[in-house]
Structure 1
Amino acid sequence: MIIQGRLADIDGVKKAQLRVDEGRIVEVGTGLGDPDHVFSDDCLIFSGFGDVHVHARQDPSGKECHKEEFATAAAAAIHGGVVHIADMPNNPDAPVDEAAYARKEALVPDDCPVGFTFYAGIGPGTKPLERKVPYKAYMGPSIGQLFFRTQAQLDETLADYSGKYIAFHCEDPELLASYSSEGTHEQKRPPICEVTAVRFAIEMIKKHRFHGHVAHLSVGEALPYIYVAKAMGLPITTEVTPHHLFFDQAGITPENRTFMQMNPPLRTRADRETLLEGLRDGMIDMLATDHAPHLLEEKARGISGQPHLDTYGPFVTWLLLEKGFTPERIAMICSAKPGAFYSRYHEGTLGHLLPEHDATFTVLNLARPTTVERGDIRSKCGWSPFEGVTFPGSVEAVFVQGNRITS
């Protein structure tokens, strides 16, 4: 099979062909033969997008399957141009040991087109699994019961995780407790809670020698600490979400307050602009959704999180066409770095349009706008915070191991 169009990777954009055989790219060039799929110059072909931060809700307990299941999360992902996702461990039956991890992993449907990676949970007194997996540590309370109550408790537990990959929800538990009587959700979780936690995570990376990943960065004030840590050569990466790049506190109203509630909360316009700059200039490593589906009636009662898998690709076109991101930068934050994460834990190689890489692609159309409508949402929760928003482009197609599964 031959695919022809504008290929976007971290080293630039070129009009060329991809020859695919048995699910892998075998050749990249021009004049390879008559193409089976041709995409116009309005389109960009990327190595398949990945999302390293998703709450797909399903676990062996089944207690949250009314919000989302692996099959519906996969449908939402493909709809948004995402071909692999990493699921978080704050489930009722949390995957904190070998048996619980295997029980959860076994629930993925055999015919699922999306690649799943599962984080193992780190909680007070847990130990690393024997198999190679990524880990998630919740420094303080968010959603679920898997979290730490003190920095000392976390420090003691992390001593056993040298050499591992650990993603952190960075909000200091003791500071959160001290602000718990404040009025609004944003006041209960102020920026100092996140900045303090980011600084502590960096201390833990130094002390215990693991790869640390700062999840859903929301405060511009934390970026200089990450910059210094990277300059020192520490193994640290970070991500930012669509909601922290698109929304801010100025848009919160009494009518939408609970629907704009998440952890960490929305910040100021200045924070939002700083995060956009950090993602654009390379200081922030990945775009990740923190896809957190809840039913509308649950959101109305006040629970944190928003669904974002369905709109990942259209949101990326907003970055490209309205926020000054180059195709090369999108290839880095949506394909290359998430692909490198995925390839740590699975057979195959994702992230680039190169021979011997998986023939898994996301094709964006930059000339066909997308207006987000509730009826189009594939996530089981059935809504999007972007309803009514028109993004400047759309997902044209998705290929998984050489098979075109959308058009």
Structure 2
Amino acid sequence: MKLLLQNGRVLDPTTGELVHKDILIEGQTIAKIGTDLNAADPETEVIDLSGKFISAGLIDMHVHLREPGFEQKETIETGTRAAARGGFTTVACMPNTRPVIDSAELVKEVIAKAEQAGYARVLPYGAITVREAGQELTDMAAMKEAGIIGVTDDGVGVQSSKMMKEAMRKAHSLGLPVVAHCEDDSLAKGGCVHDGQFAARFRLKGIPNEAEAVHVGRDILLAEDIGVHYHVCHISAAQSVRLVREAKARGQKVTAEVTPHHLLLCDEDIPEPNAMWKMNPPLRSSRDREALIEGLKDGTIDIIATDHAPHTLEEKAAGMERAPFGIVGLETAFPLLYTHLVLRGVLTLAELVDKMTRKPAEIFGLPYGVLAEGKPADLTVIDLEEERTIDPDTFLSKGRNTPFAGWRVKGWPVLTIMNGKITWNQADTALTFGE
């Protein structure tokens, strides 16, 4: 199959400016990038992009697809459809399902279901410990052979330092990164929001910054001598950013991700005890949010990941104290970040795209994330001028749990291509976000 994208705009790699280019895709590969390209083959499908922006396919290294076990919240099919609509061609799914993805058999099952759905490439993480119970290491070697890209007990922190050190040694021997949900239960247990202004006002038990930072510091020390690639999930606290920055300054292989919601919101923005604003880690203080932005800009924080975490509306209706943590993010990440970071001068478009494409591919050793001839034909086409209102009722994800409902944002993905195949085309569907 051949596909020719005409009259699009791409980022010039030297200047960061948008320049007009055509892109020819042959099979699963970008065959040619140039100007005034024509379809020599009459069977080539031609799409006129009318000046829309073309990026390498977006990559999200932290999503929850919920299957197996929580299909009422999300399935691999619905989650990857939402990913494609959001411009993502590759997503990495977390293992805290039921059963936990802690065996080669379950890894293979997830990959097979994603390939059958065909909307986005799914790269599973395997659990660090059996059932994420923190007591026994999983068979990481078998899971690596089955296709995992790293190990994590996301959703819970590995509480035992001894267990984490053993896990790091094993992962390093296999060339696998350790991807850590950093949370000390002795400090965080029972909390539902950040230990700050909002918690005090509504007399809610708070989760202090130290609950995260203590584990970040511990794990950096454990990983230092071993040499394992250590990656911090959904970093949220200023102290954690400082610890990662210091580790990088020493040359240690430490990386970190940050979510759109932690970049754009803080606990002072929460209007009332509404569980649509409940996530883990929680929204921190404005000072923490500023530290995250600074860390993203100076390279301390490497990438942006959504931590897409769908729940049912019934679960979220249980209230701030009893509802589960988490919000969805795949379908809204790029327009939110483009509107509130790029258009406000916090990041350039090139910087934002880099942290959602090339950089995650680089730090996790993936062959994607680059828009160039000879590279995999993973592309995202974005209308930078299109402005819409976020309407959860129109999400393709089963999850409707977002604090961003009603926000009006620009920069919507309109066409997603994975391995040369169109996985989302706004022009071909009647499903649109609220105007």
- TM-score normalised per structure 1: 0.88
Distance 1:9 1:224 in 2: 33
1:312 aligns with 2:327: no
Q: Which residue of the partner structure matches residue 9 of structure 2?
A: 6
Between 325-334 and 376-385, report the one with greater CA deviation: 376-385
CA offsets, 1:360-396, max 9 Å, x none? 2111212111210122111112343211001122222
TM-aligned CA deviation for residue 166 of structure 1: 1.4
1:201 aligns with 2:216: no
TM-aligned CA deviation for residue 10 of structure 1: 5.2
Q: Size of the alignment, in residue pairs?
A: 392
User: Alignment partner of 2:123: what SS?
Assistant: strand
1:125 to 124, 136, 151: 136
The CA RMSD over aligned residues, in Å, is: 2.5
1:135 to 120, 127, 150: 150
Distance 2:160 2:108 in 1: 29
1:5-404 alignment runs, 5 A limit: 5-8=8-11, 11=14, 12-13=16-17, 14-33=19-38, 36-41=46-51, 43-59=52-68, 63-108=69-114, 110-123=116-129, 124-126=135-137, 127-130=139-142, 131=145, 133-138=148-153, 143=155, 147-162=157-172, 163-176=175-188, 187-256=205-274, 258-301=275-318, 302-318=323-339, 319-340=341-362, 344=366, 349-404=367-422
C-alpha distance 363-133 of structure 1, shift in aligned 2 (>3 A): same
Is this contact kept in 1: 2:255–2:302, CA < 8 A?
Answer: yes
Distance 1:177 1:49 in 2: 34
TM-aligned CA deviation for residue 49 of structure 1: 0.3
Percent of pairs with identical residues: 29
Between 185-194 and 108-117, report the one with greater CA deviation: 185-194
Is this contact kept in 1: 2:107–2:148, CA < 8 A?
Answer: no
Is this contact kept in 2: 1:186–1:265, CA < 8 A?
Answer: no
User: Alignment partner of 1:245: what SS?
Assistant: helix
Distance 2:349 2:271 in 1: 35
Is this contact kept in 2: 1:10–1:332, CA < 8 A?
Answer: no
Distance 1:365 1:234 in 2: 39
Is this contact kept in 2: 1:161–1:210, CA < 8 A?
Answer: yes
Higher normalized contact order (CA 8 Å, seq sep 6+, divided by chain length)? 1
1:406 aligns with 2:425: yes
Distance 2:210 2:157 in 1: 19
AA aligned opposite 1:356: G
**Structure 1: segments with no counterpart, 5+ residues:** none
Distance 1:244 1:406 in 2: 29
- TM-score normalised per structure 2: 0.83
Is this contact kept in 1: 2:149–2:364, CA < 8 A?
Answer: no
AA aligned opposite 1:350: Y
Q: Which residue of the partner structure matches residue 132 of structure 2?
A: none
User: Alignment partner of 2:328: what SS?
Assistant: coil
Distance 2:299 2:13 in 1: 12
Between 285-294 and 160-169, report the one with greater CA deviation: 160-169
